[in-house]
Amino acid sequence: MLNIDAHFHQLFKPNQDNEKTALLANRLNPTNEQITTWLQSPQIKQWLTKLLMGIPNDLKVEAVNTIIKNVIRTPNKDCRVQFGSSTIGVDVLRWQLWASYRLPYASTVKSPDCPYTLKMHLDDETQKTA
């Protein structure tokens, strides 16, 4: 008979808490203008255009505009907008845009993170002004 610890799942919890604590300590506190310019940047638009989400690009842009309004209103709360089985959202702890969608004629769900984060955007802006 195996002797299994009923609290095995707690072995991994401290690492998750440490990661979240580190993210909170280093979390960016952007201005409304920084959030808006990041989410309306050409890099974000290009990334969204490449996604095969099954929704038109103008709806993707409208979803981002809705996210901007909601994140500016409550910057400490993640936000997501859903169109059918496709979702676009922002993780405000990491300041990263993400999407989730089902490929046409496939049973798998794709959920990529946008590689162009707010930190990258701010770094790019700093380099342009320097």
Taking 80 as the threshold, does the pLDDT of residue 56 lie above it? yes
What are the domain boundaries of the chain? Answer: 13-23+30-129
Token pair in block for residue 67: 């996210």
φ/ψ of residue 104, rounded to 5: -60, 135
| Residue 32 binned pLDDT confidence (cut-offs 50, 70, 90) | very high
User: What is the pLDDT, as a whole number, of residue 8?
Assistant: 45
Task: Please state which of the ranges 13-22, 37-46, 56-65, 97-106 shows the lowest mean pLDDT.
Answer: 13-22
Helix axis angle, 32-39 to 57-73, nearest 10°: 170
**How large is the average pLDDT for residues 50-62?**
90
User: What is the pLDDT, as a whole number, of residue 16?
Assistant: 57
| Rounded Cα gap, residues 108 and 62, in angstroms | 25
| Rounded Cα gap, residues 21 and 107, in angstroms | 36
Taking 50 as the threshold, does the pLDDT of residue 84 lie above it? yes
pLDDT mean across residues, the chain: 83
